[in-house]
Each structure stands twice: as C-alpha cells, then as structure tokens.
Amino acid sequence: MSELNTSTTEKYHNNFLREVEENVEEGEWVKMCMQCGVCSGSCPLGAHWAHPPQELFMMIRAGKREAVLSSDSMWMCTSCYNCVVRCPRKLPITGIMHGLASYANKLGMAPKIQPTRDFSLQFWKNCTRTGRVNELRLTLGLYFNDGLMAGIKKGWAMRNIGLGLLKAGRLNPFELFKGHSCKDQQGIQAMLKKAAEIEARRKHSTH
Amino acid sequence: MATPIATSQTILVVGGGISGMTAALEAAECGKQVILVEKSPTLGGRTALMYRYFPKLCHPICGLEINLRRLKGNRNVRVLTLAEVSKISGTRGNYAVTLNVAPRYINENCTACGECAKAVTKEIPNPYNYGLNQMKVAYLPHKMAYPLRYVLDPSAIGTADADAARAACKYDAIDLNMQREAVELTVGAVIWATGWKPYDAAKIQPYGYDRYPNVITSLEFERMADLHGPTGGKLLRPSDGKEAKNIAFIQCAGSRDENHLRHCSRICCMASLKQTQYVREAYGADGKSTIYYIDIRAIDRFEDFYLKVQNDPTVSFVKSKVARIAQDGNSGDLTLHGVDTEGYHRYANVHDLVVLAIGMEPAVKGVDIPAEIIADSSGFLESAPGGSIFGAGCASGPLDVNRSVQHATAAALRAIQVVNKSASTEAS
Ligand SMILES: Cc1cc2nc3c(=O)[nH]c(=O)nc-3n(C[C@H](O)[C@H](O)[C@H](O)COP(=O)(O)OP(=O)(O)OC[C@H]3O[C@@H](n4cnc5c(N)ncnc54)[C@H](O)[C@@H]3O)c2cc1C
C-alpha cells in the first residue's frame, strides 16, 4: 500500500463516499445519483465494463473502496458524453469517471496492465518533457509495449502508412533522436508545477 | 350574446375541467355568483377523456354526471364555453376582466340531433382522441359534452359544408354570422383551474415517439382502451393495426428529469398500474404488461392498488429507466435497451407496443396568465402577490382527480372569503 493510500484510509475509515467527495474531481456529485440506470444503458462500451457508472456510484456509497479503486471500469470511458446528456440529474458522469481513474492512479491502486492507463501515462510523460508531443516516439513506445518482437511485427504491419506519411512530409525520422521542443521549456515546467499546486490547494480549500 | 351581469361579489373560474367545475359548484352552492369560463366547446377537461379512473376503475362518466346534474340545478353559475381570458387588471376584491369568446356557429336551438354532421363532408384530426382519428367539421366533442350542443369548426365557414350544415338543420340552430366578441366583466376573485397538458413526447429523443409509430403516450393508450375511442376499445398497434399483447410501460417519460420536467408528475405510476389492467381486461392471461420504473410512487391508500397489480401474473416490473428504444423496420417491434438496478443486468427486451407514461405540465404556464401571479420552477401556479387569484387542481401542480377536487374546494373557500369581505365593505 502506498503511503498516501494508508493515510487516507486512516482519515476516512469506512466513509468512502466522503473520501470521494473530498478528493475526487466532481466527486461531490456522486450522492446525487438516483440509480435510474440511464447512464449504464446509454454507454456504447457498457457491455465491456465490469461495473457501469450507476453500479460504481452505488459501490462508492456502499463503501467498496478496494473494488472501486482497483476497477478498470472508469478507464474504459471514451468521453463520448452520451451519459452526461441523458442523465436526468445532470451528473457530470464523464468527469467523475476520469476523476476516479486519476485518483486511483494517484493512490497506486489502479490496475497495472490497462491499455488506457498505459497510454495516458506515456502520453503525459512524452508531452510534458519538451512541451510538445513527439508522435514518432509515442507511437513506437506503444508498439514496443508488449515486447521487442511484438513491436517489430506491428511496425512492419504499419509500414505502408509510415511510408505514406514520410512521403507527404508528415513524418520526420530524425524526431526519433532529439525531436523539437517548445521555445520555453522551463516555462512549461514552471506552469505544470503551478497547476499542480493550484489543484492541491483547490481540493483542500473546498472542504 | 347578453353580457353576464357581474359585480365585485362575483367569482370568476377559469377552466372547466373537474377542478373548475368543482370550485364553481362549491362556491355557487354557498350562494355566490360564479362565471365559469372554458376555452374548449365543452366542460369536463381531461377527465372526460379517461377510460377508467384509478383506484376503483370506475368510469369517469359517473363523477362528471353528478357534477353536471349539480350544475344544471344551480342558477348561480353562468357557463361560457369557447371563451378565454385575455386580460385581468385591478386588485384583490375588484378585478376588471376581458374575455375573448369565439363563435360556435351553433346556437341554443341545437338538439344534438346530429343531422349537420351527416351533411358535411370535410374531416379534421379529432383532438379528443389526440389526433388518432378524424372527425367531421360539424361535431359533438364527446358523449359527455356539456353544453350538449354541436360545434361548427371555423375551417368550415365560407365552404359548401357550412351551407350544407345549415340546410340540414331543422331547428334553425346554425348561425353563420356569429362573430368573435370581447366581454368585459368585474369580479371580486379569480380561480385559475386551467389544468394540465402532456409533455411533448417527441422531445425525449432516445424513445423515438416522433419516429416509431408503435411508441405512444399514456393519453393515447387511454383513448384506445375506450369504447368511444379511435379503435373502438381495441388495443391496436398504430403501425399495422395488429393487437398489441406484449406492452411496455415506461415511467418518468419526461418527469423527474432536469432535461425535461423537473417535477414528479405524481399520477403516472398509478396511471400505468391502472392501464396494465386494461391489458388484462382485453386479453385475460394472454396479455403481458411490463412496467419499467425508477421507483413506484403509489402514495398512501393507492399502495393497495399497487399490491394488487404486483400480484397479477400478467404484469412484471423492471427497475430501470430505459436508456433507448430501437425499432425493427420490418415488424415494427421495439427493443428496449437498458441496465436494471436489481443486479445491474443489461437487457434488450422486445415489445410490440410501448406506452410512455408522459409527464404533466401546466396547460397555461405561469408567465402566460394575463395577470401578475407567482409560479414555481415548472410553471405551476403558486399564488398571486397580495391578491385573490387562486390556483385550483392541476393548474397548481400534478394531482389526481380526488386531490384536484379537494384542492378546488379549498380554492372556492378562499375566493368566498374575498368576496364576502368586499360585500361587507360595500354594505358599510
Ligand atoms: C394518463 C393519465 C391517466 C390518468 N388517470 C387518472 C385516474 O385514473 N384517476 C385520477 O384520479 N386521475 C387520473 N389522471 C389525472 C387527471 O387527469 C387530473 O387529475 C385531472 O384532469 C385534473 O383536472 P383539472 O380540472 O385540474 O384539469 P384539466 O382536466 O386539464 O381541465 C382543465 C380545463 O381548463 C381548460 N382550459 C385550459 N386552458 C384554458 C384557458 N386559457 N382558458 C380557459 N380554459 C382553459 C381546458 O380546456 C380544460 O377543460 C390521469 C392523468 C394521466 C396523464
């Protein structure tokens, strides 16, 4: 268990709903759910979720902390917003899903092998380093995620698209080595640091 | 038409449904002068369009007939149909009211013999069956109509139909020169009983009311079950006229939804529970009703009725708000998609007819009332600032008939208090 996880468990005891309200982005909406089920029925990927949103909300209220935070369900959300437009109580369900995912990640409880989480982490690392997304590195990083052979195979399968991009001037192979960055890299780092500070303060001051 | 005599001791009741009739009669039977103004050609309102009433499943004819008898026997009430209020000004105890009265083109001589309807040819959508069938341009609104007098639709005026109707009438009842007129009144208090209207079902996009013929509203279903309705009492699918035997009822269609109506319409749970019994009446054990619901709101003594329906093996309940409906293009059957709340099972259930338990909204939204009044966030009338304009029945909130009648009686009492006061100040 991560240190943060241990300390929050101690703080909230069995009141997981309160923990969600105080720490998860949009978490204060969870108690407004009236369990009608329209979100779950409207989700285009719903059949692939272990726990659709309606069920996650009930699990939160029932204090099923472990099951919720280690679930891969909220990582399945594609942000189509179908549930949000249909929710009769106007809950920002998409936002809650992302909030739960990011909170689980912060506590180190998110499922380790989960493609969405994997991609998000790689994307974040990639773009915050230089202030620009290095598409070639990001793509190759994903290709080689499952090992060397798998990466080569995938690259080979995609070769024609790669060549096409190269010809059209949309792909620069030298990006693999250094890659271009934004002008004020230090500025970007300072901005991100400040944003993290503001976020921490905001969650704190609202409660 | 003679202008009704009215004074600051007269009570004006606007809307001639069960609530308006009750308020008018209660006040009149206390000896007050009452003018009852109804927009349509007949009294009765929405209750006259019900097949049966919950919870006793009696016919609405019964309750209406009692009120019509009271009305015929009371000289204190003046009824004006085809009339609307266009302006109210003044203060508590002393209002100047302008009415706008539309021509009926048929006068008091009418005996309701029906010869005019036989003589005319043109047909228009029948509003008393929610447009599910057509009616002649000379018509009697329905069997319970009061006054029991035909109406000539304005669209017939200037056509051969109007002359044919006049020629067919043996009683000289058809007067094609009738004009729209404005009537000015002075009254002491106003009771606003304009009732409700169904929420526009087409706005609930995922249910496809505007696209799928076999998705209908609870009001249309009510008419279908009625012997005098468009299908002669048969429960038929609009798409192919086949008998519908596997029927889904979707609760909270528009109600309790921030995207549509914020409020709970209160009567729809009971209405659907009642309508499952129409299915049973039609097919016995061969019919099947399924109610999709968030929670069933059968308040106080209605719980008994709910328990009775729960014990009916032809009725099943799915605790889930349906997410969307898809139609099979060939059969016209409908698949209801959703996830239930008792175990979170994903379902795709096929039904041959879907009835939307449609929510109620005020027929006249607060802001449209031509006087200063206070309405709630759904437009139901709450009160008038310091005044004496009182809401009665469904104009003030979604109510069943019983509660509308109680509410209307209370409104009558408040109006009586106002006119009594103006009577005593005039005397002194
Ligand atoms: C599907 C369904 C089934 C139902 N079944 C039952 C049941 O079984 N039992 C039960 O108790 N209740 C039932 N109800 C509820 C019932 O319909 C209402 O309680 C009842 O209609 C309320 O009567 P009201 O007079 O307040 O309004 P209304 O019946 O709406 O009457 C209002 C009257 O005012 C008139 N009006 C409107 N605007 C104006 C204007 N501007 N000027 C003049 N006149 C105007 C209208 O023409 C109408 O005649 C049901 C409702 C629904 C939706």
Q: Is the CB of B251 under 6 A from ligand 1?
A: no
Domain B199-360 has CATH 2.40.50.1070: no
Contact check, Cβ <8 Å, A35/B341? yes
Tokens describing residue B24 = 């008018």
Amino acid B17: pLDDT = 97
Q: Does the pLDDT at position B302 exceed 50?
A: yes
Question: Residue A176: which pLDDT band, with cuts at 50, 70 and 90?
Answer: confident
Instruction: State which H helix or E strand residue B277 sits in.
Output: helix B268-283
B345 burial via Cβ count (<10 Å: 0-12, 13-18, 19+): exposed
ipTM of the prediction: 0.88
Q: What mean pLDDT do residues A109-124 have? A: 92
Amino acid B1: pLDDT = 46
Contact check, Cβ <8 Å, A41/B257? no
Cβ(B44)–Cβ(B144) below 8 Å: yes
**Digit-coded pLDDT (tens) for B101-126:** 999 999 999 999 999 999 999 999 99
DSSP reduced 3-state for B228: coil
d(CA B98, CA B39): 14
Instruction: State which H helix or E strand residue A200 sits in.
Output: helix A185-205
**Digit-coded pLDDT (tens) for A73-86:** 999 999 999 999 99
Cβ(B222)–Cβ(B136) below 8 Å: no
More confident residue, A156 or B4: A156
Q: Where in chain B is the domain with CATH 3.50.50.60?
A: 10-196+361-427, 199-360
Q: Does the pLDDT at position B225 exceed 60?
A: yes
Amino acid A207: pLDDT = 46
Q: Name B337's bridge partners.
A: B324, B348
Nearest atom (ligand 1) to Cα of B368: 41
Tokens describing residue A151 = 């990466």
d(CA B395, CA B377): 13
**How many whole angstroms from B98 Cα to the centroid of ligand 1?**
24
Residue B64 CA, chain-centre distance (Å), reads: 13
Q: Does the pLDDT at position B398 exceed 70?
A: yes
Which of A38, A80, A89 is best to mutate for the B interface (most B CBs within 10 A)?
Answer: A38
Q: Is the CB of B226 under 6 A from ligand 1?
A: no
Domains, in order of start, for chain A: 2-107 (1.10.1060.10), 115-206 (no CATH)
Question: Residue A6: which pLDDT band, with cuts at 50, 70 and 90?
Answer: confident
Cβ(B17)–Cβ(B44) below 8 Å: yes
Which CATH code fits B10-196+361-427?
3.50.50.60
Average per-residue pLDDT for chain B = 94
Contact check, Cβ <8 Å, B340/A37? yes
Contact check, Cβ <8 Å, A41/B323? yes
**Digit-coded pLDDT (tens) for B334-351:** 999 999 999 999 999 999
Amino acid A159: pLDDT = 92
DSSP reduced 3-state for B266: coil
Give the nearest partner residue to A40 out of B252, B259, B339, using CB atoms.
B339
